[in-house]
Amino acid sequence: MSGHHHGHDHGHGGHCHDEHSHDDDLTPAVQHSLHPHINFDAIRSLNEAAPGSGKAVIKKGWDQRLTETPVLESDADEQLLLTIPFTGQIKLHSILIHPTSLQTSARTIKLYVNREDLDFSTCSDLQPVQTLEVPLTPPSAAANEPIEIPVKRALFNNVRSLSLFVEDNQSQGEEEVTRITYLGFKGDHTKTIREPVLVDYEAAPNPADHKLEGQKAGMPGGLSFEGGGTGNAN
């Protein structure tokens, strides 16, 4: 899989990571994290063995990236389909994934943008925005860290939701279960989506409605509303 070494040194350089503290990484790691901008309640995860496990793995913060539970496991076969909606419009820079073992780690991940209606059958008919190949061995110096895979940023400028179709794992058909313990996203939050604005507008009182109600009830306001009171002031 040459061509998939993305040069993520994560700022570790050549330092000895025996004395490395993960606390040192916290600030740069979360600097462009999209974690605060994910609509967790609306996450969809298809073919997950345990209901809610996809959401639980995405909910993990950076400080929980190395914890082994909860874990997302595929059910009927090695494929997974996750759709992650954001609370606003984002620009995606990279995806971070932590596999559990070399065999059950995700290998091919196809990305789709703003398609919250996706299922496995529509995925096979649609051209992905980008296809990622997860390296078998993490290219970073800290081998235990999540793998960060950059995307082509120009293709992910106006993202409201991101779908990840995990097509297969690293076992080449020998393992039917794909396992993921951490899934994170980096990028920029550009605009908040305010969907309830139209609802608020409809709910606002309309003065004309109140005049009509007054007219039906025989109130004085109803006379002037019909336009007959302009010249009858005397």
CB neighbours (10 Å) of residue 151? 20
Are 169 and 209 members of one domain? no
- My answer on whether 180 and 204 are in the same domain is no
Is residue 12, in this structure, part of any structural domain at all? Answer: no
Separate counts of helices (H) and strands (E) for the chain: 6, 8
The residue that leads in pLDDT, 25 or 55, is: 55
Residues 135 and 149 grouped into a single domain: yes
- Indicate the number of domains in the chain: 2
Residue 5 falls inside a structural domain: no
Rounded distance between C-alpha atoms, residue 166 and residue 143, angstroms? 22
Domain shared by 212 and 187, yes or no: no
pLDDT band at 19 (very low <50, low <70, confident <90, very high): very low
For residues 132 and 208, membership in a common domain is answered with: no
| Contact indicator for 133, 4 with CB cutoff of 8 Å | yes
Structure tokens at 186: 């980096």
Q: Do 135 and 203 reside in the same domain of the chain?
A: no
Are residue 178 and residue 217 in the same domain, yes or no? no
Strands 179-192 and 106-113: unpaired
Q: Is the pTM of this model over 0.85?
A: no
48 and 114 fall within a common domain: yes
Are residue 113 and residue 198 in the same domain, yes or no? Answer: no
Place 152 in a pLDDT band, splitting at 50, 70 and 90. very high
Structural domain contains residue 11: no
Q: Would you say residue 7 lies in a domain?
A: no
Show the domain range for 101: 22-192
Q: Which helix (H) or strand (E) holds 120?
A: helix 120-125
The number of residues making up the chain comes to 234
pLDDT tens digits along 101-145: 778 999 999 999 999 999 999 988 899 999 999 987 655 545 678
What whole-number distance in Å separates Cα of residue 15 and Cα of residue 126? 44
For range 50-59, the mean pLDDT:
97
29-55: average pLDDT? 93
Tell whether 32 is covered by a domain: yes
> Does 9 fall in a domain?
no
Answer yes or no: is 132 within a domain. Answer: yes
The three-state (H, E, C) secondary structure of 27-89, written as one string: HHHHCCECHHHECHHHCEEECECCCCHHHHHHHCCHHHCCCCCCCEEECCCCCEEEEEEEEEE
pLDDT value at 43 more than 80: yes
Of 117-131, 171-185, 190-204, least confident by mean pLDDT is: 190-204
